[in-house]
Structure 1
Amino acid sequence: MAKTTYYVPIGPIHPALKEPIRVEAEVEGEKIVKVDVKRGFAHRGIEYMGMKRNAIQTLYLSERICGICSISHPYAFVIGSEKALGIEAPPRAQYIRTIIAELERIHSHILWLGVIAHEIGFDSLLFWTWKGREKVLDILEAITGNRINYSMYMIGGVRRDLKESHIRVLKDMITYYWEFTEHMKEVFLSDPVYKARTRGVAQVSKDVALKLNLVGPTARAAGLRMDIRQDIPYDAYADIDVKAVVPQDIVGEARGDAYDVTMVRIYEIEQSLDIIEYCIDNLPEGKILAIPNYIALLNKIKKTEGEGIGAHEAPRGEVVHYFRYDGTRDGPAVWKVIAPSYNNINSWGYCLLGAEVADIPVVVAYIDPCMCCNDRVAVVKDSTGKILDYSILHRKAVEKTRALEKELGVMK
């Protein structure tokens, strides 16, 4: 007797999705037997716009690539630009950058912990974690003036200095989150229901993680010791000796599932607290900008020809920005962005195949996806392999509309 399968489309607009993505699953009972993931619904042309503006305007545009990780893209942007332009940020600015980046990692990881709790039905845990996240957002607002989109980084340094009052609240925050993370270990890692719901779900081995080019906590949960702060240290990270957080160092083995990703993120919060404490205890004196005059900076950019790559370990994984300045304009001639979700979404097809329908939200959430970070165009081809351009797609849309009108009896 032939088995019956059903087609289950999810997205691009769906109550469970915060951003547009489409997952097309074919199910047999509750088991997924075929799956296809489609993206490209959030293309905004940011790279193209950035190449039409000066470098400072493009820097602020880069901050809008992602709302949650709104320091990660500017961080990679300034590092790449400085390499291309031959500029070095002052030591004090480098330490301030590192502090802000780790504050963002704390808030992003706590946000994800709330999201994964929500996806498995623990809404009370969602509210508790997000209440705890308010502390770090208050600190970011006190230092930068904003809870999100901080406008803190600049090519050659930072725009604002750290005051003694900021250092005092940072030390209070560190004490607060050491206690908070201990509670999170209890309510996440020691809870039998949470463990049962995440153990074995979205499981990726070390070999598969390498083949799929996974990055960030998703890769580290599979046991890969990879972290830009460790492998290619920059700014204050070069003085700190950061080590990648992997499950085998915590519990003796790495299974690479949603439970291990949870573990990695909680322990990375503690690592961020250590990094922030080191930075404020060893904060150098001095200036915070290599070129304080923005007009002078733009003039230097206009006269400089060079290229550079900026890489930063964002909360979701490595962010890479490539730049080329051609010496004829005050903005980048070439700007290319690669965000971690572009790599990590590759795991969805692998993890969903053979999984239960109820596991779809957990598989989707475990990489902490950002669709807008992808910012890619979907290329559509016909059966012969010919790319369907705007004129062909428009004609087909008109033809389909006319056919529907005829079918529904509403032809004019």
Structure 2
Amino acid sequence: MSRSMIIPFGPQHAAYLEPLNVALKLEEERVVGAEVNIGYNHRGMERALSMDYKKSQYLCERVCGICSFHHSSVYCQGLERIFDVDAPERAKLIRSILMECQRLTSHLLALGHVAESVGYENLFMQSFRERELVMWLVNRISGNRVHYSMNVIGGVKRDLAPEMEKEIANTMNDLRPRLMELHRIFSRDSTLRKRTAGIGKFSTQDARSYGAVGPVSRASGVPQDIRQDGFAAYGMIDFRPVVREEGDVYARMMVRMDECLQSVDIIEQCLALLKDGPIAMQVRGHPTGEVFSRVEAPRGELMYYIKAKGTLSLERIKLRTPAFMNVQALLAMMLGYQLCDVGTISVSVDPCICCTDR
């Protein structure tokens, strides 16, 4: 006769970099129930962001360190629509280049953690070695490794000199074969496949029911990518969403790996389209109106609702982050699998508690 028990998984656990707790109900080693508990990291960001709309273009980057530039971009994009200002084409292309650089750093971090969760320490180090190339590049572009502080309402505040454009192109040329080698390992390594293929299955119907976004939903056959809406310079870029049908840890891993190679392509397309011109439009006064603004962050759709009343402070700002949607999907992914798979399944969602709790 089997006996059930409830055990805590996190908030302090080797598989998690941030405080997430999952209460697991087990029968022997099999997961028969799960409850996600958050709230360890609440910082009152929405209240702080509403106090001064000018300072908030920098504060919103502190919501999350891994997708900080996307937070800044979606915020400035929303305010530009309220002010009825269109950022110059060159600024949009620079934004797209930096967004894809950040997608690379985020995905390589997630891939490294999947490898680490199954005990593949060497592959973890390889993933972070390639990530460091991009980290050095964005540091050269913006002067910062994590919070770029490049966006302003109306465009960007730093231009790309011809030497910097060449350096970006050279870095992408160096990075492509390295990513292809990583792709070969992630896709073909027999031990890694045994620990990820068929584990943490998440059906297309579940993805739609839970409102999952980003690589989590695309790995389950949902062809949704907000970049197709054409924000920033994506309307000028030729690309197709990366979609897989398996819906398991392996599929989520490979969607991110394929998107890394796609990001290199997008950056090269942006460089080819760069033309001389202004990088910012002048914005005056205080905003009045309300807007929904969306971008495709590395983890999926990032949405800001902004309501302004014509003063320095905003009347309301509401964030819906991709991690907030995807963390709940763990409830469906874990059921029926072994306790030893819980860490790998959790990491495959790429949870970010800074985004989730705010």
TM range (shorter): over 0.9
Match of 1:239 in 2: 236
1:287 aligns with 2:278: yes
Q: In structure 2, what is the Cα distance between the partners aligned to 1:241 and 1:138?
A: 27
Q: Displacement of 1:218 after TM fit?
A: 0.6
**Which aligned pairs between 1:9-408 and structure 2 lie closer than 5 A?**
9-52=8-51, 54-230=52-228, 232-247=229-244, 254-291=245-282, 297=283, 299-301=284-286, 304-327=287-310, 329-375=311-357
- Verify the 8 A CA contact 1:84 1:324 in the aligned structure 2: no
Q: Displacement of 1:140 after TM fit?
A: 0.2
CA deviations over 1:115-148 (Å, ceiling 9, x no partner): 1100110011111111111111111001000111
3-state SS of 2:186 partner = helix
Q: In structure 1, what is the Cα distance between the partners aligned to 2:292 and 2:154?
A: 15
Q: In structure 2, what is the Cα distance between the partners aligned to 1:78 and 1:237?
A: 16
- Verify the 8 A CA contact 1:30 1:357 in the aligned structure 2: yes
- Verify the 8 A CA contact 1:78 1:310 in the aligned structure 2: no
Q: In structure 2, what is the Cα distance between the partners aligned to 1:350 and 1:167?
A: 45
* TM norm structure 1: 0.85
Q: Displacement of 1:244 after TM fit?
A: 0.8
CA deviations over 1:169-206 (Å, ceiling 9, x no partner): 11111111210121112211011111110011111111
Q: Displacement of 1:3 after TM fit?
A: 2.6
In structure 1, the gaps of 5 or more residues are: 248-253, 292-296, 377-412
State the one-letter code of the partner of 2:43: R
Match of 1:386 in 2: none
3-state SS of 2:264 partner = helix
State the one-letter code of the partner of 2:122: S
3-state SS of 1:325 partner = strand
Q: In structure 2, what is the Cα distance between the partners aligned to 1:282 and 1:7?
A: 56
In structure 2, the gaps of 5 or more residues are: none
- Verify the 8 A CA contact 2:16 2:347 in the aligned structure 1: no
3-state SS of 1:287 partner = coil
Q: In structure 2, what is the Cα distance between the partners aligned to 1:154 and 1:318?
A: 21
3-state SS of 2:33 partner = strand
Structure with higher Rg: it is 1
3-state SS of 1:343 partner = helix
Q: In structure 2, what is the Cα distance between the partners aligned to 1:69 and 1:284?
A: 27
- Verify the 8 A CA contact 1:229 1:242 in the aligned structure 2: no
Q: Displacement of 1:285 after TM fit?
A: 1.7
Q: How many residues align?
A: 358
Q: Percent identity?
A: 35
Match of 1:250 in 2: none
Q: In structure 2, what is the Cα distance between the partners aligned to 1:273 and 1:34?
A: 40
Question: 309-318 vs 9-18, which deviates more?
Answer: 9-18
Q: Displacement of 1:14 after TM fit?
A: 3.0
CA deviations over 1:239-266 (Å, ceiling 9, x no partner): 114311112xxxxxx1111111111111
State the one-letter code of the partner of 2:5: Y
- Verify the 8 A CA contact 1:102 1:276 in the aligned structure 2: yes
Q: Displacement of 1:17 after TM fit?
A: 2.0
3-state SS of 1:42 partner = coil
- Verify the 8 A CA contact 1:203 1:257 in the aligned structure 2: yes
- Verify the 8 A CA contact 2:38 2:357 in the aligned structure 1: no
| Structure 1 vs Structure 2 CA RMSD | 1.2
Q: Displacement of 1:50 after TM fit?
A: 1.2
State the one-letter code of the partner of 1:92: R
Q: In structure 1, what is the Cα distance between the partners aligned to 2:139 and 2:295?
A: 22
- Verify the 8 A CA contact 1:323 1:336 in the aligned structure 2: yes
State the one-letter code of the partner of 1:375: D
Q: Displacement of 1:370 after TM fit?
A: 0.5
C-alpha change, 1:114 and 1:153, in structure 2 (3 Å) is: same
- Verify the 8 A CA contact 1:71 1:104 in the aligned structure 2: yes
